Amino acid sequence: MSSHAAADRVTALKSGPLRGEAVTPGDKSVSHRALIFGALSIGETRVTGLLEGEDVLNTAAAMRSFGADVERTGSGAWRIRGVGVGGFSEPENVIDCGNSGTGVRLIMGAMATTPIAATFTGDASLRGRPMGRVTEPLAEFGAQACGRSGGRLPLTLMGAANPGPVEHRLRVASAQVKSAMLLAGLNAPGVTTIIEPEPTRDHTERMLRGFGAEVSVEETKDGRVIRLVGQPELRAQTVAAPRDPSSAAFPVCAALIVEGSDVLAPSICLNPTRAGLYHTLREMGADLTFENLREEGGEPVADLRARFSALKGVETPPDRAPSMIDEYPVLAVVAAFAEGPTVMRGVAELRVKESDRIDAMARALEACGVKVQEDADTLIVHGRGADGVAGGATVASRLDHRIAMANLVMGLAARDGVTVDDASPIATSFPGFEALMTGLGARFGREGA
């Protein structure tokens, strides 16, 4: 789906206490991977808790185009009959990944070592995002890409006929690039080695092992060295997707800044490569507890309990950025309700997400009466305290679900609410966001409604 429905202008109104259970959707990263690994396996993979957002649905459609049999059997329940490593067939038409960087980059990796061609596109946001970060490393396997200037979509990738194994050191801290390379390495004979100087989310490594591949991870002074033995037979699995910590961030952060709130978000994935936001919130003084810590489906999981809190500004170090990369927009909102400045360092990657998230949040916060400073890879928000954010502005969501949700969360606690010009991008990662928040006590308004 390359374009969203008509703009959906929504106002979040200052709300009374948020209370109750926030049962948030399945993890987006795990959901994309479950579909792709299922498609590359022999046998029938069953997935429960799949995130049925537009991003993941586009990946499901793409897997069908490459020859897998993908079927929805119930709410969040899916069945995939895979074609095996190297078994992708050539799609008959363009693959449209919509808004999803994860979808397009992982799928390019998954086909890069099979001798077929595929053309990829996406919505206006995805067509603006850099793809050279994936196609250049994939060229080391022999895959050839031809796209628009700057390596942008639409782009055609010709998979390599005789791929060799590759040793590659990541140039950018990106789980998408790492995963694309590992997926490509699956169909290359021999051992592919990927070195990541900074750890990024490790769902691909965990799931590769779960599907039967031989993967080793060694921590060295140069970073994590990941070795994958090529051409395994991946075997179909049952995958239970845990709940997404990046989605849970919105009700949790809303509870921290809306006076009197007490919200429980059950069964949230707390994989250490994803949990940076929650540690940062605790440093800010948040009344946030991790209850019933346990393991589910190979991932650490906990129930998160968040209560309204007096917060103070903190500094987030660059090496924490990969573990909370999608959470900075909502952290910037929380920071506005804290006392003193919050300094977010090492966040340049935010400039190449669905929008330039530093610019999007800086402009939105300023419009709501909050002072911010930014440079290429830093965002500083000068907090105004629990009751200090004026709001009252209309802000742009820029085809970016996280910008839309972060600003709606701000509106629930700001004196005069906040209007988002278009909330429709939220459907990419968090269908049901507004209903869930309303169930907790949040108030939203629509013109004419």
Residues with a known catalytic role: 326
Q: Are 188 and 165 in contact (CB under 8 A)?
A: yes
Of 113 and 429, nearer to ligand PEP (C-beta) is 429
| Residue 309 contact among ligand PEP, ligand S3P, none, beta carbon within 5 to 8 Å by kind | none
| Residue 342 contact among ligand PEP, ligand S3P, none, beta carbon within 5 to 8 Å by kind | none
- The binding site for 3-phosphoshikimate comprises 28-29, 33, 174, 176, 326, 353
Task: Tell me: does residue 349 bind ligand S3P (CB under 6 A).
Answer: yes
Site for ligand S3P in 183-202 (CB under 6 A): 201
Q: Which residues contact 422 (CB under 8 A, 6 or more apart)?
A: 4, 7, 8, 9, 396, 397, 399, 404
Distance CA 419, CA 405 (A): 11
- Pick one of 29, 59, 114, 135: the residue that binds ligand S3P (CB under 6 A): 29
Distance CA 13, CA 430 (A): 20
Distance CA 15, CA 3 (A): 32
b/e burial code for range 384-414 (CB count within 10 A of at least 16 → b): bebeebebebebbbbbbbbbbbbbbbbbbbb
- Pick one of 104, 325, 370, 404: the residue that binds ligand S3P (CB under 6 A): 325
- Pick one of 99, 121, 135, 174: the residue that binds ligand S3P (CB under 6 A): 174
DSSP state letters, 326-352 = GGHHHHHHHHHTSEEEEEEES-GGGGG
Return the range that interacts with ligand PEP (CB under 6 A); candidates 60-68, 97-105, 153-161, 257-265: 97-105
DSSP 8-state assignment for residue 284: T
Distance CA 258, CA 90 (A): 51
- CB of residue 277 to ligand PEP, shortest distance in Å: 12
- Pick one of 179, 187, 271, 419: the residue that binds ligand S3P (CB under 6 A): 179
**Which H or E run includes 131?**
none
Distance of CA 194 to the CA centre of its chain: 21
- The binding site for phosphoenolpyruvate comprises 28, 101, 129, 176, 357, 402
- Pick one of 11, 174, 204, 429: the residue that binds ligand PEP (CB under 6 A): 429
Of 101 and 230, nearer to ligand PEP (C-beta) is 101
CB atoms within 10 A of CB 127: 17
Alpha-carbon dihedral sign for residues 448, 9, 58, 432: negative
Return the range that interacts with ligand PEP (CB under 6 A); candidates 58-66, 93-101, 271-279, 298-306: 93-101
Task: Tell me: does residue 407 bind ligand PEP (CB under 6 A).
Answer: no
Return the range that interacts with ligand S3P (CB under 6 A); candidates 89-97, 170-178, 228-236, 288-296: 170-178
Token pair belonging to 164: 């060799």
Task: Tell me: does residue 353 bind ligand PEP (CB under 6 A).
Answer: yes
Return the range that interacts with ligand S3P (CB under 6 A); candidates 15-23, 169-177, 284-292, 407-415: 169-177
Site for ligand S3P in 101-140 (CB under 6 A): 101-102
Task: Tell me: does residue 244 bind ligand PEP (CB under 6 A).
Answer: no
Interacting residues toward ligand S3P by CB under 6 A: 29, 101-102, 174-176, 179, 201, 325-326, 349
